[in-house]
């Protein structure tokens, strides 16, 4: 018996942010905390997202200190503001980092104990209950799928980047307005787009049984591959932006199947405190090497991907995705991203502790992860 559950309420349309007041009313939220980051504020996207609330939007408490990779320290600061202001829910505006941080706030505002108590790898999944405060997610990038995802990634104070996973962490509303992604800088468009592609590929290849998720993953992958270069080349291409936002959304909808070795590596790499490594860029660099590692362990799924993307039978999939990343202008290796070589051993060990590795189609040891890192370096 396969338990398949989909998933939450999604508004997807140009101008969808106009429905924010209705969502607040339906969820019974009177004083939500707005969680975002400084870049989203500077871009004017917070003001645009909250404009439908009129004067009431200006009076909402805001946490604008989300770092590139969410941290336990930032979560504690946002949680303190949530409590001081008597908030009853969260509006997350931005990319995956503000949305993940918002989920963490919603969790800890309603659950006792330490954040680490709820980490998936530490047995925390069953401890997360329906008491999680409501979250409304308004994505401004097209990549993470966090607006419909059941997970939040947070780097703890001790340096571990851990996943917090529960259907109760899925935002109660996802407002997906492609207009908010218009003008996203080319490199950020490329990196987040490769994030969406990696989500679709890894979830499709996961050995868990969920044909519904696999169909969604293939559709999202085809949309992203067909439109990402257009979106990077012209930030005002509304059609390409809408297709990329849908591809990212579909990638998030397929998280139910689990991810794989790409994410088992990119999670700890993204948690490093002394070097800032963008998650989507890491995925773009790692994906070809993991695809080569998994070859021969996925049945006929590579053939299905080739057919769906219009590639020749037997086409080299690792080379295809590596060439796409190069055309987008993304780094070719981890060294180019600034990762010191002396971190490879520690990152390989950390990958064995990440929850995503459990659903890679081929089991990977610390030695396997070390070789993957070396190949991607």
Instruction: Residue 359: give its domain's CATH number.
Output: 1.20.1090.10
State how beta strands 151-155 and 161-165 pair.
Answer: antiparallel
pLDDT of residue 16: 94
Residues 222, 82 within the same domain: no
200 & 151 share domain = no
176 and 302 belong to one structural domain? no
Domain boundary among 148, 180, 212: 180
pLDDT tens-digit profile of 80-128? Answer: 999 999 999 999 999 999 999 999 999 999 999 999 999 999 999 999 9
Q: Which of 251, 362, 219 lies closest to 299 in space, CA to CA?
A: 362
In this structure, is residue 3 part of a structural domain?
no
Same domain for 205 and 271: yes
3-state secondary structure of 147: coil
- Quick check: is 281 in a domain? yes
Q: What is the dihedral of CA 352, 354, 355, 360, to 10 degrees?
A: -50
Task: Record the pTM.
Answer: 0.93
pLDDT (0 to 100) of residue 273: 84
Torsion (CA) 218, 221, 225, 226 in degrees, nearest 10: 60
Q: Do 155 and 224 belong together in one domain? A: no
Instruction: Out of 150, 180, 210, pick the residue that ends a domain.
Output: 180
Give the pair of three-digit tokens for residue 96: 């995956």
CATH of the domain at 163: 3.40.50.1970
Residues 135 and 274 both lie in one domain: no
Print the domain residue range for 154.
Answer: 9-180
Q: Are residues 133 and 278 in the same domain?
A: no
Q: What is the pLDDT of residue 1?
A: 35
Q: Same domain for 166 and 299?
A: no
- For residues 28 and 109, membership in a common domain is answered with yes
Question: Could you give the CA distance from residue 3 to residue 25 in angstroms, rounded to a whole number?
Answer: 31
Do 179 and 140 touch, CB atoms closer than 8 A?
no
Give the model's pLDDT for residue 3: 46
| 231-261 per-position pLDDT tens digit | 999 999 999 999 999 999 999 999 989 999 9
Checking DSSP bridges between strand 33-35 and strand 135-139, what pairing results, if any? unpaired
Percent over 70 (pLDDT), the chain: 98
Question: What is the arithmetic mean of pLDDT over 308-337?
Answer: 97
Residues 114 and 130 in one domain: yes
Q: How many domains does the chain have?
A: 2
Q: In this prediction, what percent of the chain has a pLDDT beyond 90?
A: 93
Which DSSP letter does residue 67 get?
-
Span 158-178, mean pLDDT?
94
The answer as to whether 217 is a domain residue is yes
């Amino acid at each position: 018996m396969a338990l398949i559950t989909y998933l939450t309420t999604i508004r997807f349309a140009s101008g969808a942010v106009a429905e924010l007041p209705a969502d607040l009313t339906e969820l019974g939220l009177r004083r939500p905390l707005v969680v975002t980051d400084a870049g989203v504020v500077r871009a004017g996207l917070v003001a645009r997202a909250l404009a439908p609330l009129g004067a009431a939007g200006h009076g909402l408490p805001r946490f604008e200190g989300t770092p590139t990779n969410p941290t336990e320290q930032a979560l504690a600061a946002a949680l303190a503001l949530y409590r001081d202001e008597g908030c009853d829910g969260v509006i997350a505006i931005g990319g995956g980092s503000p949305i993940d941080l918002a989920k963490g706030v919603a969790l800890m505002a309603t659950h006792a104990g330490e954040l680490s108590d709820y980490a998936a790898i530490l047995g925390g999944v069953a401890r997360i209950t329906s008491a999680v405060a409501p979250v409304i997610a308004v994505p401004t990038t097209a990549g993470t799928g966090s607006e419909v995802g059941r997970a939040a990634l947070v780097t703890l104070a001790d340096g571990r980047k851990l996943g917090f996973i529960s259907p109760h962490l899925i935002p109660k509303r996802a407002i997906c307005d492609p207009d908010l992604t218009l003008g996203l800088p080319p490199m950020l468009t490329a990196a987040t787009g490769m994030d969406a592609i990696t989500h679709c590929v890894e979830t499709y290849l996961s050995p868990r049984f969920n044909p519904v998720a696999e169909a969604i993953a293939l559709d999202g992958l085809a949309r992203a591959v067909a439109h990402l270069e257009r979106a990077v080349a012209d930030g005002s291409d509304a059609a390409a932006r809408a297709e990329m936002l849908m591809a990212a959304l579909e990638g998030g909808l397929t998280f139910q199947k689990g991810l794989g070795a790409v994410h088992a590596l990119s999670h700890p790499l993204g948690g490093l405190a002394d070097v800032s490594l963008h998650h989507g860029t890491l995925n773009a660099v790692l994906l070809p090497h993991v695809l080569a590692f998994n070859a021969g362990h996925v049945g006929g799924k590579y053939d299905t991907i080739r057919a769906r993307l219009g590639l020749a039978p037997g086409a080299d999939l690792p080379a295809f995705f590596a060439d796409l990343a190069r055309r987008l202008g993304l780094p070719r290796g981890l060294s180019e991203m600034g990762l010191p070589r002396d971190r490879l051993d520690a990152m390989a060990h950390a990958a064995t502790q990440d929850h995503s590795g459990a659903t890679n189609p081929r089991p990977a040891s610390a030695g396997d992860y070390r070789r993957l890192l070396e190949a991607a370096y």
